[in-house]
Amino acid sequence: GQQLNQSPQSMFIQEGEDVSMNCTSSSIFNTWLWYKQDPGEGPVLLIALYKAGELTSNGRLTAQFGITRKDSFLNISASIPSDVGIYFCAGQPEAGNMLTFGGGTRLMVKP
Amino acid sequence: DGGITQSPKYLFRKEGQNVTLSCEQNLNHDAMYWYRQDPGQGLRLIYYSQIVNDFQKGDIAEGYSVSREKKESFPLTVTSAQKNPTAFYLCASSVSRQPQHFGDGTRLSIL
């Protein structure tokens, strides 16, 4: 099955820095989701985007639904150690409940 | 609290043995899903079920089986035909086209 192209695969940053990651697809999606997974746990939903061009924030996190509906971006401002984890994007097509996942971005934060 | 419960947290399988992973949800969600996650990889869909007594194969169903006799339960059996079962298994559920919610996973290893 298709996977989304998520980049970067990993990031090692200093505490306090801003972070950007993105997902691209050859297909159009109607919904974009961003999840965070802590080690040994299941992914937890961070942000859901439902409209092309939509910009949504959740605390220090901001995500955008690309205008072409083929991409999405997640930004984290002023990173802190607890931001460490794997961030996944997921796209949902117009019909059905199935999600297509990106390969994940592993974020490491140096105190 | 409502949620998705996966058990056991850790599971070991001997050669030629079938093992069953449990997934229970009390969210009253209609749809349930099983994913496999390998180190450094995204999530791949094994099986999904939209309603009771019905389920469909995902991208990597070979060597796995499921049942959906009750709305709240969706057990996954890893059969001896699955030659590379070592992975982290995640169960999820959703209602309508709302985002999927995940359990905390089961880590399966080979003895």
Which of A7, A31, A99 is the best mutation test for B, with the most CBs of B within 10 A?
A: A99
Which of A97, A98, A107 is the best mutation test for B, with the most CBs of B within 10 A?
A: A97
Give pLDDT tens digits for A37-86: 998 999 999 999 999 999 999 999 999 999 999 999 999 999 999 999 99
Q: What is the reported pLDDT for A48?
A: 96
Task: Please name the residues between 31 and 60 in chain A that touch chain B, using a CB distance below 8 Å.
Answer: 31, 33, 35, 40-45, 48
Q: What is the reported pLDDT for B39?
A: 85
Say what percent of chain B tops pLDDT 70. 98
CA distance A91 to chain B (A): 10
Give pLDDT tens digits for B11-35: 998 888 999 999 999 999 999 999 9
Question: Residue B11: CA atoms inside 13 Å, Cβ hemisphere, count?
Answer: 23
CA distance B26 to chain A (A): 17
Q: What is the reported pLDDT for B20?
A: 96
Q: What is the reported pLDDT for B96?
A: 83
Q: Which two tokens stand for residue A54?
A: 């939509």
Kindly tell me if the per-residue pLDDT of A1 is higher than 60.
no
The DSSP result for chain B, as a single string, is ---EEEE-SEEEE-TT--EEEEEEE-S--SEEEEEEE-TT--EEEEEEEEETTEEEE-TT-TTEEE--SBTTB--EEE-TT-S---EEEEEEEESTTSPPEE---EEEEE-
Kindly tell me if the per-residue pLDDT of B46 is higher than 70.
yes
Kindly tell me if the per-residue pLDDT of A19 is higher than 70.
yes
Across the range B54-67, mean pLDDT stands at: 96
**B41 and A104 in contact by Cβ < 8 A?**
yes
